């Protein structure tokens, strides 16, 4: 089926998958932690606050996209960025975010607003939507 698709469409699909793999705050934090070099899994766990199983899932996604590579040293597992292009993408994203935020036209993501609300002492979850009754027709 991909033989029938224009090359540009295939490339955009691949790019979308790449951005999707980087599209989680925990994975961005993990990548940012690796910018200066290899990081032990124990340090990643401490730095992200993720449970070991959750961290493992995020690392697996980044590994499958070939954004990170594992290595062992003295029996400890380390991860590092697969190439300098990954840190350049992170840097470009920071620059773009700064530019967009300065323009003042960038709405805060709902998750960010929700996280900020949860820090408030009087935060309460929103009420559940009312259930619709089936019509008697």
Residue 71 and residue 78 in contact, taking contact as beta carbons nearer than 8 Å: yes
d(CA 19, CA 96): 15
**Does residue 132 lie in a domain region?**
no
Whichever domain contains 8, its CATH number is: 1.10.10.10
- Helix 25-33 / helix 52-64 crossing angle, nearest 10 deg: 80
Integer CA distances (angstroms), 96 to 13, 57, 70, 91, 111, in order = 22, 28, 29, 9, 20
**Does residue 126 lie in a domain region?**
no
Identify each DSSP E strand in the chain by its residue range.
39-40, 68-73, 76-81
**Does residue 33 lie in a domain region?**
yes
What is the rounded average pLDDT of the residues 14-36? 94
Q: Does residue 2 or residue 92 have the better pLDDT?
A: 92
Beta-strand relationship, 68-73 and 76-81: antiparallel
Task: Determine the 3-state secondary structure of 77 from DSSP.
Answer: strand
Tokens of 87: 């840190």
**Does residue 39 lie in a domain region?**
yes
Q: Which of the residue ranges 41-45, 73-77, 106-110 would you say has the lowest mean pLDDT?
A: 106-110
pLDDT band at 114 (very low <50, low <70, confident <90, very high): very low
Structural domain boundaries, residue 84: 2-119
**Does residue 125 lie in a domain region?**
no
Number of folded domains that form the chain? 1
């Amino acid at each position: 089926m991909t033989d029938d698709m224009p090359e540009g469409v295939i490339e955009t699909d691949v790019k979308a998958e790449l951005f999707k793999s980087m599209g989680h705050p925990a994975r961005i934090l993990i990548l940012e932690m690796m910018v200066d070099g290899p990081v032990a899994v124990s340090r990643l766990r401490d730095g992200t606050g993720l449970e070991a199983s959750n961290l493992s899932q995020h690392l697996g996604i980044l590994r499958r996209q070939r954004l990170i590579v594992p290595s062992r040293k003295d029996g400890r597992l380390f991860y590092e960025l697969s190439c300098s292009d990954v840190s350049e993408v992170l840097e470009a994203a920071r620059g773009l975010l700064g530019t967009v935020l300065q323009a003042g036209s960038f709405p805060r993501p709902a998750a960010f607003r929700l996280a900020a609300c949860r820090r408030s002492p009087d935060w309460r979850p929103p009420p559940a939507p009312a259930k619709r009754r089936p019509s008697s027709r």
